Amino acid sequence: MITKTRSCYHSLGLAHPGMGNLNSGLKFFKRSLQLIEKLLVDHCQIADNINNMEAVYHKMGDYKSAKEQFQNAVACIRSYSINTQALPLVTTI
Q: Taking the domains of the chain in order of start, what are their residue ranges?
A: 2-92
Contacts of 78 (CB under 8 A, 6+ apart): 87
CA distances 54 to 1, 22, 26, 36, Å, are 27, 11, 9, 17
pLDDT over 90 for what percent of the chain? 33
Whether the pTM exceeds 0.75: the reply is no
**pLDDT digits over 47-73, tens only?**
888 889 999 999 999 999 999 999 988
- Cα separation, 62 vs 43, in Å, equals 25
CATH, domain 2-92, list 3.40.50.970, 1.25.40.10, 3.40.50.300, 1.20.1730.10: 1.25.40.10
